[in-house]
Structure 1
């Protein structure tokens, strides 16, 4: 069943960025614009332009309740003799030198990010107008290159596709697929690439056709067509910017392995969406759609999805039937996470009783630390392939974990990293006696761990200041799922 009204509710209550946050975003923008115009920044500011998901109206609510991003282009006249680096770095100095923004400012390759505590981030990116020819637009790469861009034209292209689909359904489906990406964590695909791939599946002559009758049907149509298109390309295809043919988005797929994973995951979700769309009976259809989007979908109608053959009336959820208080969960939970994503796990899963607590004194609000993982066939191998949290792995080889500051910068030498490695699952709990303690780095300032036991395990990084042994940074759990 299509359950059109439930999709409307799901978008409104769960997926869409809520009005309060939109109001906060819009309230911040005038002050930023005035600050830049009134500063001593050398480039002459022409105007400001919304970009990305904000401009396209496909911005979604962060699935973890965290900060959301909005992009603002600062359109400027060229400055004689300036490199691309100077535009970005000088704008960063203007903000970091201000008492209002000094503790909110971070300068990246293309933009300056202003972070408002616990809520939102606004990226201001210099865009030079008319340096090459009248009307040309170039964003500035801090690594010293100007890159042609066409933000106005791309936004118009996106609006055209939305008009062809009718009922704002292209925008809504784009939000749904971005939500699916973020909540499942089974594939990676940057928003501009995802939007382009979906938009390419709509043609001008299809306005008003049955394939785009409503949101769930549009979702079925676009994912089906995307799957068909991906099947034609076993390796990464060219994906040109529809309004700037010289720009190829294919690098955004990531590695060959990440592209293959994306291709396989879209095929899997296509089947689930087709099945849900065809399922008869309201409750049965809700369960089928929850397999796609998780239990937040239609939660007022069906609070929990039942496991295969288990009735709702016995209050047994998908996860609880595999768990107990010792974290010696049954192996079947791996299959549930494979199908539904990490979001199906309760918050308590990340804190089993056998997990040790940190022994260090801590600053009041430790910095967020990023954990990166790479699969390698053996510990002596120096090159492997990137792995994302929750990716299904076989019990072969191992993972090399590396801690970094958010954004990828290495942890400074005046700090050291310890790792909390936590095993769960019946076999691992027996074999390693409930391993959940702290380990030092054992390979190139990182941590090597073999992949051995079926289950869902966790690696966390703790950054400690050498001078006084105070904890200053903590990562979120990096989930390792072994089949």
Structure 2
């Protein structure tokens, strides 16, 4: 690695770790459900235990109001009970008590109990009724509606995950956040499949960025040779193919997303610029990955008196409170533009080369024309004669006119720059939005006045 991202990854992993009050909420729900199941089925407390990412120490906070959960296994089913009956009896038991009756949702492999949303996202508990298999491997059997019983070893898988060590845990957490941030990846591969693939391809490298980058590269190198999903054996139950339900279409979509991830990973490994490296990590892992702030690079909003005035357009400023306008912005993410994230006024520091989409929100009792204005500031833009200040109609990135309440821009010059929109009717400016400040850093171009 050309730059050291160790502190950035430590902060990132802290940012995505599920904390309080969610952990206490999960523990409280699991304890209440476990007590109920022990009493309902008359089984030892050891027969009800946690499985999944929470037990495996790989749980991450959900993205954008998504879901977080905890999975419970209850060894409570007799040997001659069908899979459907086992799930139906568990569902009936939960519906019979006021404590859980309003929370029950039927699922194919489990019964789900849904809890109220909080500021992190929605929360649920999945409960799987299992039975002893009568053999050493697999020790248990789990039901699936209309599909019978299937061997499972949840406690053994949890122990296997923990045995992989802290580097594996850190890499899985990062890769799970990549999966959650990139919507096509989320739909293309199951979390457990991704976790096992990571164990097969992850190098034992201490540096988080290098380890993640190499995992992406080797994964793509091997999987891109295939047209159908590989067999992914359960590491504690080799007879089970975890990729059994992985369709060829989803697999190939996963390979496409890996290819883009490799491009960002290559940037991370090769750049000597800490901002470029952190920005590439953010493209992969989302806004929880820290980047430098405008203050860190000493950006300032400088003089923009060069901006064109309405009078220079031949317009009269005649503001009317019935007319209002404001603008919102998003940053287009991904080399194919498949993901966008909101951009706040005077917010994060953006690297050059990002595409920004601005949208005007307006209130107007009569027809008006929407105009846009950009005012660049700072020594970088001045040095290349790009101190823009003109008033213009909205355009796309190719410079062609589009819907007048929209406008696209690309980030290019180090500095704090401004954009606003104006409502004009019959050569009168009826409303102007506040200036929206965009902070930009161009590689190799420190801020200068």
The question of a shared fold, defined as TM-score above 0.5 by the shorter chain, is answered with yes
1:160-183: CA deviations, max 9, x gaps? 332xxxxx1211111111111112
Q: Does 1:342 align with 2:339?
A: yes
SS in 1 for 2:101: coil
Give the aligned partner of residue 277 of structure 1.
Answer: 269
Residues 7 and 252 of structure 1: CA distance in aligned 2, closer, same or farther (over 3 Å): farther
Residues 279 and 21 of structure 1: CA distance in aligned 2, closer, same or farther (over 3 Å): same
> Within 5 Å, which residues of 2 pair with 1:314-463?
336=333, 338=335, 342-345=339-342, 353=361
Q: Does 1:10 align with 2:9?
A: no
Distance 1:268 1:337 in 2: 8
Deviation of the 1:352 alpha carbon: 7.2
Deviates more, 1:188-197 or 1:136-145: 136-145
Q: Does 1:92 align with 2:91?
A: yes
1:329-386: CA deviations, max 9, x gaps? 9xxx89645557535245999997489xxxxxxxxxxxxxxxxxxxxxxxxxxxxxxx
Give the aligned partner of residue 146 of structure 2.
Answer: 143
Does structure 1 conserve the Cα–Cα contact (< 8 Å) formed by 2:138 and 2:151?
A: no
Does structure 1 conserve the Cα–Cα contact (< 8 Å) formed by 2:57 and 2:162?
A: no
Structure 2 length as normaliser, TM-score? 0.64
Distance 2:140 2:256 in 1: 37
Structure 1 length as normaliser, TM-score? 0.60
Distance 1:217 1:109 in 2: 40
Residues 212 and 133 of structure 1: CA distance in aligned 2, closer, same or farther (over 3 Å): closer
More contact order relative to length (CA 8 Å, sep ≥ 6): 2
1:257-315: CA deviations, max 9, x gaps? 2211211211221221131133213233223322322343214x236999xxxx97669
SS in 1 for 2:47: strand
Does structure 1 conserve the Cα–Cα contact (< 8 Å) formed by 2:138 and 2:153?
A: no
Matched positions, count = 334
Match of 1:234 among 227, 230, 246: 227
Give the aligned partner of residue 258 of structure 2.
Answer: 266
Q: Does 1:302 align with 2:293?
A: yes
Give the aligned partner of residue 249 of structure 1.
Answer: 242
SS in 2 for 1:110: coil
Distance 1:178 1:116 in 2: 23
Does structure 1 conserve the Cα–Cα contact (< 8 Å) formed by 2:79 and 2:132?
A: no
> Within 5 Å, which residues of 2 pair with 1:55-74?
55-74=55-74
Residues 143 and 224 of structure 1: CA distance in aligned 2, closer, same or farther (over 3 Å): same
Give the aligned partner of residue 169 of structure 2.
Answer: 171
Deviation of the 1:327 alpha carbon: 9.0
Deviation of the 1:49 alpha carbon: 2.2
Does structure 2 conserve the Cα–Cα contact (< 8 Å) formed by 1:328 and 1:426?
A: no
Larger radius of gyration: 2
Distance 2:212 2:102 in 1: 42
Give the aligned partner of residue 365 of structure 1.
Answer: none
Distance 1:225 1:252 in 2: 23
Distance 1:135 1:277 in 2: 42
Give the aligned partner of residue 105 of structure 2.
Answer: 106
Give the aligned partner of residue 22 of structure 1.
Answer: 23
Distance 1:350 1:95 in 2: 49
Deviation of the 1:138 alpha carbon: 0.6
Distance 1:94 1:350 in 2: 53
Does structure 1 conserve the Cα–Cα contact (< 8 Å) formed by 2:332 and 2:339?
A: no
SS in 2 for 1:251: coil
Deviation of the 1:432 alpha carbon: 9.6
Give the aligned partner of residue 192 of structure 2.
Answer: 192
Distance 1:247 1:96 in 2: 33
SS in 1 for 2:130: strand
Distance 2:294 2:228 in 1: 41
Residues 212 and 19 of structure 1: CA distance in aligned 2, closer, same or farther (over 3 Å): farther
Distance 2:257 2:283 in 1: 14
Residues 176 and 341 of structure 1: CA distance in aligned 2, closer, same or farther (over 3 Å): farther
SS in 2 for 1:74: strand
Distance 1:33 1:328 in 2: 47
Does structure 2 conserve the Cα–Cα contact (< 8 Å) formed by 1:272 and 1:292?
A: yes
> Within 5 Å, which residues of 2 pair with 1:119-134?
119=118, 120-131=123-134
